Amino acid sequence: MIKFSFLLILCATMTTVEAQQNNSKTKIKKTTKRIVEKQIIKTTPKIRLTTDSGIIVIRLYDSTPLHRDNFIKLVRQHFYDSLLFHRVIKDFMIQGGDPESKNAPPSIELGNGGPGYTIPAEFDTSLFHKKGVLAAAREGDQVNPQKASSGSQFYIVQGKIFSDAEMDAIEIKKGIKIPENHRTVYRTIGGTPFLDMNYTVFGELESGNEVVDKIAGAARDANNRPLQDIRMKMEIIGEDIKTVIKAKSKK
């Protein structure tokens, strides 16, 4: 009985040791297991906007991500290809992005079409309507008090030079404050300060302001639609994609 008890104890001890060793091996296996993660890091691409009047290159802002991502998505889908600049006003802006303009007959008023959704406003006090910025069109305040942007329609500011007296009057009328650094730009380069914080600015031209000037000066009808169609095509350029592989321990 003593020998049997000793054997039982010995077996039990060996079983416990083996279990501990197995558990130890299991723990080691778990702590050394590696998970490989792949991360895609992308720099914001630029947009090449080709028109009948020349080429414009646009840089989108990262500080307005909803508008940036939506615009890139539509460009990738070739949404804008063959659409018109349907509204142009000298010393103000040029507007496009209405899908109904693609096959629109002459003299038809445009500007009511879109992809079927809007984008929440993304106002940033550092972004303002200087000459050459890209901004989102939208419906008026009466039907759109949240100032949500059209899902596709945009405009590029041509603008004009403003004096301090003119900007003072805008501040009083609009109930806004135009910072001095913005005033400096409006006094020298120009823009449309009365639109600030009312329409989302989400990019700017890197080149092609002369093209905007040409389009803005086109002959137009009573609805500010150019008498001769000015079509557009957009494509992504300068896209940089990097792959980063990271290994992590899983405990």
> pLDDT tens digits, residue range 113-126?
999 999 999 999 99
Domain 41-241 coded CATH 3.90.25.10: no
Separation of alpha carbons 116 and 53, rounded Å: 29
Phi, psi of 168 (to 5 degrees): -60, -40
Tokens of 86: 């349907």
DSSP state letter for 113: -
Could you tell me which of 94, 206, 100, 228 has the C-alpha nearest to residue 156?
94
DSSP 8-class letter at 100: G
At 45, the pLDDT band (50, 70, 90 cuts) reads confident
In this predicted structure, which of 55-64, 101-110, 139-148, 240-249 has the lowest mean pLDDT?
A: 240-249
| Per-residue pLDDT tens over the stretch 139-152 | 999 999 999 999 99
pTM beyond 0.75: the answer is yes
Mean pLDDT rounded to a whole number for the chain: 86
Q: Which helix H or strand E contains 21, and what residues bound it?
A: helix 2-32
Say how far apart CA 222 and CA 224 lie, in whole Å: 5
For residue 239, the model assigns a pLDDT of 72
Higher pLDDT, 5 or 21: 21
C-alpha–C-alpha distance, residues 22 and 33, integer Å = 16
Query: Which residues does residue 233 pair with via DSSP β-bridges, in sequence order?
Result: 50
